[in-house]
A and B are shown apart, each in its own frame.
Chain A
Amino acid sequence: DGGITQSPKYLFRKEGQNVTLSCEQNLNHDAMYWYRQDPGQGLRLIYYSQIVNDFQKGDIAEGYSVSREKKESFPLTVTSAQKNPTAFYLCASSTTAGFLGNQPQHFGDGTRLSIL
């Protein structure tokens, strides 16, 4: 079955540590996204990529970094510069039209990041 796989489901970060969240899709989508969700809140866009080897900052990119070396993969690194990383992180993908809101986005089941 086609879909998006995020791993790990739970992740703990120590002070000063960088951690990387994995996101893999087999939907053959060009566009991929990372969102942050805080309790009781909506989604805020961290980074997005419309094509391999290209990505753009979203609304809250500070303290995060991404890469897009393969169409299927869009890992997110939460760096030590992100002082409040505790949140639920969601990865999504779509066709290029999905980025513009003309088609749905497809989501993984998220990674919950906490600070030790």
Chain B
Amino acid sequence: SQQGEEDPQALSIQEGENATMNCSYKTSINNLQWYRQNSGRGLVHLILIRSNEREKHSGRLRVTLDTSKKSSSLLITASRAADTASYFCATDSIIQGAQKLVFGQGTRLTINP
């Protein structure tokens, strides 16, 4: 099963509203990353948050991390049509004795004009 699972699977909001996506994971981590993927394109890195950090900002993006609940959230404020994309969380995870980056299944965000 996936280390990181995003919730909701799909989210549709009006332009200007805030969008919140959540990521839960199962085992302890050192870092958690968020990526964006526009339709038919590659992933673009947004933010990396380390396990000793609780919150991180980048422009209109705010990421929180709660290691006690094994969860993270990505908040996009004042959403724009250009924010329409899929958003993935990725966590470092020990798989068969090797540390790897494991991606969740993503949240599809649609911003309606």
Q: What residues make up the interface of A, taking CB atoms closer than 8 Å to B?
A: 4, 6, 35, 40-43, 45, 58-59, 88, 90, 92, 98-110, 112
Contact = CB atoms under 8 A, between A and B. Distances in A.
Contacts, number: 67
A101 B100 contact: yes
B41 A99 contact: no
Nearest to A35: B103
Interface residues of B, number: 26
**Is chain B's binding surface mostly helix, strand, loop or mixed?**
strand
Contacts of B33: 101, 104
A7 to B, nearest CB: 13
Given A41-B105, A59-B95, A102 B42 contact: no
A43 B100 contact: no
27 contacts: A35-B103, A40-B106, A42-B103, A43-B43, A59-B95, A88-B40, A90-B43, A92-B43, A98-B101, A99-B101, A101-B29, A101-B90, A101-B91, A101-B92, A101-B93, A101-B99, A101-B100, A102-B30, A102-B31, A102-B92, A103-B48, A107-B44, A108-B42, A109-B40, A109-B41, A110-B41, A112-B40
